[in-house]
Amino acid sequence: MIIYILLSFAVGVEGGVFELQGNDIVSPEFGPRFGVFCDVPVTSNLNYVLSFGWGKATASTRTVAITYDSLGQRQVFSEVRGEDFEYLSGDFSVNWIPLRSVISPCLSGRLGLKSWKFVSGGEVAMSLNGNEFKGISLSLGGSAGLKGNIAGFILSAEVFSDFIFSENSDWEKGFGGEDDNEWTRGVIFRLGRDF
């Protein structure tokens, strides 16, 4: 089995579209995502996949500032900031292929690390509290789709969703919004070559 893992793998490119969602997300639209991947079969029904990618989609986020007047009364100000959401990611996936044939269904679970930011006019968007809307967060996701192995090439198409653990626990001093975690959804296509 160790020899099989060392001598059998595939590398390739991936592309697709994604959309950002969340309680504080405003006017999201689908945008492109691209990346590279390495697919290593472990057993006849299980593959490990390591991927690195980039994505950019239209999305804004709400920001809130909390102040207190001289009488100690709480005042809340709210605005929408940012035009686009961008990320770089590294993901480790486990793919389960229950039936091995030319084209097979597949399910995947994924753990990743995302460096993300909201951008406005080419610059990182700022919260009303003066903090940048950017961070590095863990992500957890899954996908379902079809995978084919034809003449030494791997082809796949999957629908996916990733939960991004982007919440700032100290939201009054952080992003300045009653911040929550965001999630993405989309479609991804892969083309790779077996070695």
Residues of the chain where predicted confidence (pLDDT) is lower than 50: 1-5, 176-177
The domains of the chain, with CATH numbers, are: 2-194 (2.40.160.20)
Per-residue confidence (pLDDT) for residue 77, from 0 to 100: 67
CA dist 75 and 79 (Å) reads: 14
Per-residue confidence (pLDDT) for residue 69, from 0 to 100: 77
The pTM for the full model equals 0.84
CA dist 15 and 158 (Å) reads: 11
For 94-123, the pLDDT digits (tens) are 999 998 788 999 999 999 999 999 999 889
Q: Fill in the amino acid letter for 186.
A: G
Q: Rg of the chain over CA atoms, in angstroms?
A: 20
62, 22, 66: which is closest to 173 by C-alpha? 66
